[in-house]
Amino acid sequence: MAGQTNAFEMAQQQFDHVAGLLRLDPQVAEILRWPMREFHFRIPVRMDDGSIRIFEGFRVQHNDARGPNKGGIRFHPAETVDTVRALAFWMTWKCATADLPLGGGKGGVIVDPATLSTSEKERLCRGYIDVMWRNLGPRIDVPAPDVGTTPQMMGWMMDEYSKLVGQYTPGVITGKPLGGGGSLGRTEATGYGVIYAVREAMRHLGMDPAKSVAAIQGFGNVAQYAAIGFTEMLGGKVVCVSYWDRDDKCSYTVSKPDGINPRFLMSITDQYGSINKAKASAEGYSIEDGSEWIGKEADVLIPAALEGQINGETVRRVHPRVRLVAEGANGPTTPEADEVFNKNGVFVIPDFLCNAGGVTVSYFESVQNDMNYYWTKEETLSRLDTKMTIAFHGVLDMSLKENTCMRDAAYMVAIDRVVKAMQLRGWV
C-alpha cells in the first residue's frame, strides 16, 4: 500500500533472516512463512441511491497455535491481500512478543470509507460479518478496528454476529464503543504503548526525555496519543506530525519549531485524520510537503502511518541526530533501511513490540467481556504499562544476549514461543 513495497514479501524476508539465525527446522519455517487460512470474498451492499455495489474483502488467519486469531479490519482504497497477509503474519509475532494467548489475523475491504454515508458503512460492516461469521468467534478469530474503521463500526459488527448466533457475544470483536462492551483505555492504548516502549528505550540509551525532540509521521489514533504521551508523560517536544489530506489527495507535514500542541491539532482533525490547514496556519503552524517529517532535526522518529515509509531511498534523509526509531505503524521500515540504521547505531523498537499496546488492551477487553466486569481506565493503562515494560525488556535481554538488533531479537522471542506452542499441541 506504500509505493512499490510488498509488505508480505518484506515480512517473509525478515522472518527468513531470523529463521536462519535460529537454525529453525526448514519444515517448521515453511509452516510459519504462510497463513494457515485465507478468505477472499465479495460483499454486495445496497447503496443509498438504490443501486448495489460489490466490495472485495479479505480475512487472513496466520497461526492460532497460542490461541484465537486476533487482528483488525482495514477499510482502505488501496488494500491488497498481500498487505493483509503481512499484517496477520506480524500479529502472530506481536501477540507472542507481548506474551498474549492469541494468534495472528487480519482483515480488509477495498474501499475509501470517507466516500460512504453512515448507513452505507453500517451495511458494509454487517455484510462483512454475514460472509465471515462462521469463521469468527471469541475462541476462533477476534477482529478489531484498524485503518479506516472505528469503534462504532465494531459495534455494528458485534451486533450482526450476535444476531446470527442468537446470543449477545461482545467478545467476538474488540475496540467496541464504551457502553457497548468496549474497554476504557482502548482509544489511547496503541499510542501510549509506543510511549511506554520509548520511555524504556530512553532509559537503556541514557537519553533525557525532557530534552528530547520527536518527529511523528501520521495523525491518526496512534500518532495522536503518541504525541500526547511524548509531551505530557515524558515532557519532551514534538516538532511535527503528518497527515493525508483527503481533499487534496496528498500528504502534508504540520510543524512548529517550538513544539506542536497535539490536543489542539486533534480538535481541528476530522475522523479520518485530516487536519484543517487553515486553522493550523492561523495558529502559527507551518504546512509543508508530507515527506518533510523524516528529515526533521530530532532525537526520535515515530513512523505511525503505513508500511514501507522508511526505505532505501527515504532513509538517506534521516537527520544524523536521530538515535531512536519507534515503529508505531506496522512495517514502516524496510530491510534496506534497517541495514542503514544498524550501521549508524540507531536503536529501532520494532513494530510488533512497539505498537503492541492496541492488541494488548484488546485482549484486556476480551477478558472483561468474559468476566462481564469492567476495569477503570487507570487499571487498564497500568496493566498495559506493565505488559509493555516486561515485553520490552524481554526483547532487550535477547538482543544483548545474542548481540543482535531489536527486530531480530523480537522475532527470536516470538518464534520461540509460537514453535513451543506448536510442539506442545503436537503440530510439529
Catalytic residue positions, numbered = 106
217 with 331, same domain? yes
Q: How far apart are CA 71 and CA 121, in angstroms?
A: 20
Q: Which of 354, 388, 408 is the last residue of a domain?
A: 354
**Residue-level pLDDT at 246:** 82
**Residue-level pLDDT at 2:** 41
174 with 199, same domain? no
330 with 213, same domain? yes
112 with 194, same domain? no
159 with 193, same domain? no
Q: Which of 125, 152, 182 is the last residue of a domain?
A: 182
Cell numbers placing 397: 535481554
Q: Which of 305, 323, 354 is the last residue of a domain?
A: 354
**Count of domains in the chain?**
2
Question: What CATH number does residue 80 fall under?
Answer: 3.40.50.10860
Domain assignment present for residue 7? The answer is no
> Residue 332 — φ and ψ, nearest 5°?
-75, -20
167 with 271, same domain? no
* Contact in structure between 418 and 65 (CB atoms under 8 Å): yes
Q: How far apart are CA 305 and CA 326, in angstroms?
A: 12
207 with 329, same domain? yes
Question: What CATH number does residue 248 fall under?
Answer: 3.40.50.720
* Contact in structure between 322 and 293 (CB atoms under 8 Å): no
Q: What does the H/E/C string look like for the chain?
A: CCCCCCHHHHHHHHHHHHHHHCCCCHHHHHHHHCCCEEEEEEEEEECCCCCEEEEEEEEEEEECCCCCEEEEEEEECCCCHHHHHHHHHHHHHHHHHCCCCCEEEEEEEECCHHHCCHHHHHHHHHHHHHHHHHHCECCCEEEEECCCCCHHHHHHHHHHHHHHHCCCCHHHCCCCCCCCCCCCCHHHHHHHHHHHHHHHHHHHHCCCHHHCEEEEECCCHHHHHHHHHHHHHCCCEEEEEEEEECCCCEEEEEECCCCCCHHHHHHCECCCCCECHHHHHHCCCEEEEHHHHHHCCCCEEEECCCCCCECCCHHHHCCCCCCEEECCCCCCECHHHHHHHHHHCCEEECHHHHCCHHHHHHHHHHHHHHHCCCCCHHHHHHHHHHHHHHHHHHHHHHHHHHCCCHHHHHHHHHHHHHHHHHHHCCCC
* Contact in structure between 69 and 62 (CB atoms under 8 Å): yes
* Contact in structure between 252 and 289 (CB atoms under 8 Å): yes
Taking only the tens of pLDDT, the chain with its 428 residues reads 444 678 899 899 999 999 999 999 999 999 999 999 999 999 999 999 999 999 999 999 999 999 999 999 999 999 999 999 999 999 999 999 999 999 999 999 999 999 999 999 999 999 999 999 999 999 999 999 988 899 999 999 999 999 999 999 999 999 999 999 999 999 999 999 999 999 999 999 999 999 999 999 999 999 999 999 999 999 999 999 999 888 888 999 999 999 999 999 999 998 777 899 999 999 999 999 999 999 999 999 999 998 889 999 999 999 999 999 999 998 899 999 999 999 999 999 999 999 999 999 999 999 999 999 999 999 999 999 999 999 999 999 999 999 999 999 999 999 999 999 999 999 99
**Residue-level pLDDT at 247:** 84
176 with 202, same domain? no
199 with 348, same domain? yes
Dihedral sign for Cα atoms in the order 72, 77, 80, 86? negative
133 with 255, same domain? no
143 with 269, same domain? no
Q: How far apart are CA 143 and CA 337, in angstroms?
A: 31
Tell me the residue range of the domain where 214 lies: 187-354
Q: Which long-range contacts (CB under 8 A, 24 or more apart) does 276-279 make?
A: 277/245, 277/252
**Residue-level pLDDT at 1:** 40
pTM summary value: 0.93
* Contact in structure between 45 and 28 (CB atoms under 8 Å): no
Domain assignment present for residue 28? The answer is no
> Residue 3 — φ and ψ, nearest 5°?
60, -135
Domain assignment present for residue 428? The answer is no
